[in-house]
Each structure stands twice: as structure tokens, then as C-alpha cells.
Amino acid sequence: MPAKYDPNWRIGHFTRHLPAGYRKSVARDKNLVVDPVTRAYYEALRHITRDRLNDPRGLRRIVDFNLGKVAAPDREM
């Protein structure tokens, strides 16, 4: 997620915008993000970070994600 602008930023100390529904998603371990593009992006990340590493579908998701085939959320949200 994009970092909030801060003219006094320090590396590693970024405040992020949290999309609507993200906190509920984490609390309930279910994708409840409101924006459809952000929801799809989050779903891809959930699979990439939670699936078994040797799962062929997981590897395909990683490749697709790294090649930009998963639409990124609007950075100006």
C-alpha cells in the first residue's frame, strides 16, 4: 500500500494507508476489503504469503504478481 507523504520521513518508518475493510479482514482471517481492485490484490497477496511454497498454483501466482499481471490498487486512494 502506498505510504502517506511525510516530509520528515526516515527509512523503514512509513505510515501506510489502510484500505476500507482491511482491519476486519485481518481480524476475521477473511478478505473483506471493500474496493474490488484492492480486494483482488490483497487476495493474491494472501495466497502468495500463505500457500505452500511448492504448490504449482502458488508459484504461478508469484510469477503473475511479479510480472504485473495482478492489477495494483490505486496509489492515490
The per-residue pLDDT for range 7-30, each reduced to its tens digit, is 888 787 788 888 999 999 999 999
Give the start-to-end residue ranges of the domains of the chain.
Answer: 22-66
Tell me 10's DSSP state. Answer: B
pTM of the model: 0.77
Q: What is the pLDDT of residue 77?
A: 59
Q: What is the pLDDT of residue 76?
A: 63
